[in-house]
Amino acid sequence: QASPVAPSFQLDYEENCFRKDGVPFRYISGSIHYARVPRPAWRDRLLKMYLSGLSTIQVYIPWNYHEPLPGVYDFSGNRDVEAFLDLTADLGLLVILRPGPYICAEWEMGGLPAWLLWKPDIVLRSSDPAYLAAVDSWLRVLLPKIKPRLYQHGGNIISVQVENEYGSYYACDYGYLRHLVGSFRALLGTEVLLFTTDSAGAEELRCGTLQGLYATVDFGPGSNVTEAFSAQRRVEPKGPLVNSEYYTGWLDYWGEAHASTSSAQVAQGLEAMLQLGASINMYMFHGGTNFAYWSGADFKNQYKPVTTSYDYDAPLSEAGDPTEKLFAIRTVISKFQPLPVGPMPPATPKYAYGRVALQKYADLLDVLDVLCPFGPIQSQFPLTFEAIKQAHGFVLYRTQLPRDVLDPATLGAPPHSVCDRGYVMLQKEYQGTLQRDRQTALRVTGRAGDTLDVLLENMGRISFGANISDFKGLLGNLSLDSSPLSKWLIYPLAIDTAMQQGWPHDAQPKSISQGRTGPAFYTGTFETPGIAWDTFVQFPGWGKGQVWINGFNLGRYWPGQGPQQTLFVPGSVLHVGRPNNITVLELEGAPTTPLLLFLDQPLFNGTL
């Protein structure tokens, strides 16, 4: 009796294809990020991907999502990557894994933990020993969870990407890539297929590829397929053609138009590649949401923060609904291979819960005892978020005017030193906002000893495009008519910790100073009519801020900038049979009648 052949997934350089268990194989894959989808929705999204005709999914692992502090790991709840991978196997999907350590993904700091910047001179994504030590200790935790799930070991992970578009980074450090390959091989074994992904430019492919790693390319529907694959052929003369990121849409930046790519164009490009026998991963197949503080930013001559929605104009919408684009893609796939039997699940039910009135709970400055229970840090000059070990969210900087300012004086910051927005209050009165790469000065008047407060907001660390580490907070000193201010009290605010402990809904309301603008908390409740369906919350007349429902941080809203007008609210965060608690931190000024609208569809730039 012949012994069963061990499962294998390999490159065939003779026939220019993959071989799965010895048989020629081509994958049609789609990207989904478990960190952008609430765990109760994972199965629904994966099933829809399977029924679209995909054999494979591609997924990133964001290091900073799992190691919030050095040596402190979180793989629970929404972060249970092993449960996610087990679900893909249950549904019969193969997996292309992209564990980084850097992932880009328009995710906060490209997945790298902010605590790496506690060493200010660290050189990220290089052979810097401090960086490599952190990477190695992370990989020693992560990769042993992955190894038993590799295809060779009876699992469903067919290939593993090393780093991510490294050729687009200035360092071009082959020693770093070689170090990663050594770590991956030591922890995953010699059989696993390791690969790289880069854009199809000659320079990117020069710095991003390495002998022993299979080089793949990424490009979107606007590209010339023949030219892009001939770029791959220059570095990989033999082996399968692979587009690891075929862009089905694009991301949105605050203050720019909602990105969209036509279904016809996406389908056409897909068909052209499939006719060449290529393996393809569609980025994204389902984009999801940058909840809490997880959205990243690009740097293209200026700082460009990414919206809370990561809808991406993808085949499955932000809420996980099949779109026209999905059916166009499915039709193309059906020309090359049989589709799975079974109907596509419909759109998830949505509910318009309607208007919810909110009340002002307190000005932020009046609840510092709750938000910063250990009190402020004293410093002659401002310290960055990283210097005080605050990763995300908000830090308050407080000092006093050193002299009477009877005629308006300029309160100013050096260029690029307000990261990313500073809300200025004098004697608790809101004066205006300082902004990175934009407004860096305000005119103020006051008396000696008046309290000056600047609330600094981190809008997300740069994930792509800059060759510098993205420190947050006040990176330089503020000055008054060019004379530097000193003697600062710095309050790291633990807003989410307070929320998770039930604040402010189970606290006594503060005496409210009506009519004051500037950062303040608003609260309200609503009940669901016996169902907890997905919904979208709109902010009529609000400025900019952050919103929580039942302690879950839904992310940032900024309707005046757009294009995003509504935030996605997953039904899984709502309660049935008891009130849902809403808390809004409005940073600039709430409408005179503070209310939220819950809709059954999203709005971008005021349009569907």
Tell me: the pLDDT tens digits for 387-446?
Answer: 999 999 999 999 999 999 999 999 999 999 999 999 999 999 999 999 999 999 999 999
Q: Angle formed by the axes of helices 81-90 and 42-51, to 10°?
A: 40
Distance CA 260, CA 250 (A): 7
Closest CA to 84 of 49, 123, 117, 115: 49
Q: Residue 568's closest CA among 312, 305, 375, 238?
A: 312
Query: Could you tell me how many helices (H) and strands (E) the chain has, helices first?
Result: 11, 35
Q: In what order do the strands lie in the sheet with 535-538?
A: 354-357, 595-599, 535-538, 566-569
Q: What is residue 423's predicted lDDT score, i.e. its pLDDT? A: 98
**By CB neighbour count within 10 A (0-12 exposed, 13-18 middle, 19+ buried), where does 388 fall?**
middle
165 is catalytic: yes
| β-bridge partners, 312 | none
Please enumerate in sequence order all residues whose Cβ is within 8 A of that of 190, keeping only pairs 6 or more positions apart, or say none.
none
Pair of tokens at residue 419: 């990261």
The angle subtended at Cα 90 by Cα 107 and Cα 149, nearest 5°, is 65
Distance CA(473)–CA(526), nearest Å, equals 35
Q: Report how far apart the first and last C-alpha atoms of the chain are (Å, whole number).
A: 62
In the residue annotation, 588 being an active-site residue is answered as: no
**Length of the chain (residues):** 608
| Among candidate residues 122, 244, 133, the one with its CA nearest the CA of residue 195 | 244
Query: How far is C-alpha 89 from the chain's CA centre?
Result: 25
Q: Enumerate domains of the chain plus CATH numbers.
A: 9-335 (3.20.20.80), 354-360+496-599 (2.60.120.260), 374-493 (2.60.120.260)
How far is Cα 293 from Cα 309, in angstroms, rounded to an integer? 12
Under 8 Å CB-to-CB from 550, ≥6 apart: which residues?
573, 574, 575, 580, 581
CA angle 132, 135, 140 (to 5 degrees): 125
Indicate the SS3 state at residue 202. Answer: helix
- Tokens 């994930």, residue? 463
The residue type found at 260 is S
- For the stretch 62-73, pLDDT in tens is 999 999 999 999
How many CA atoms does the CB half-sphere of 524 hold within 13 Å? 17
Which pLDDT belongs to residue 465? 83
Chain centroid to CA 362: 30
Q: Which residues contact 431 (CB under 8 A, 6 or more apart)?
A: 411, 424, 425, 442, 444
Tell me what pLDDT residue 507 has: 83
Q: Which of 67, 165, 318, 586 is catalytic?
A: 165
Catalytic residue among 67, 108, 245, 386: 245
CB 422 within 8 A of CB 434: yes
How many Å apart are CA 1 and CA 413, to the nearest integer?
A: 79
Three-state SS annotation for 122-171: CCCCCCCHHHHHHHHHHHHHHHHHHHHHEHHHCCCEEEEECCCCHHHCCC
Q: Are 304 and 462 in contact (CB under 8 A)?
A: no
Distance from C-alpha of 575 to C-alpha of 597, rounded to nearest angstrom: 18
Q: Which amino acid is at 70?
A: P
Residue 453 phi/psi, 5° resolution?
-115, 135
Among residues 368, 377, 389, 381, the alpha carbon closest in space to that of 113 is found at 389
What's the DSSP call for residue 77?
Answer: G
Residue type, 385: F
Distance CA 78, CA 89 (A): 18
Three-state SS at 247 = strand
- pLDDT value, residue 2: 59
Cα–Cα distance for residue pair 401/499, rounded to 1 Å = 33
What parts of the chain have a pLDDT lower than 50? 608
Q: Give the tokens for residue 62.
A: 């964001």
Identify the helix (H) or strand (E) that includes residue 272: helix 263-275
> In DSSP terms, which residues pair with 350 in a beta bridge?
534
Q: CA quadruple 191, 196, 202, 206: dihedral positive or negative?
A: negative
CB crowding 79-111: b at 16 or more within 10 Å, else e: bbbeebbebbeebebbbbbbbbbbbbbbbbbbb
Report how far Cα 149 is from the mean position of its chain's Cα atoms.
Answer: 25
Please state, in angstroms and rounded to a whole number, the distance separating the CA atoms of residues 205 and 223.
17
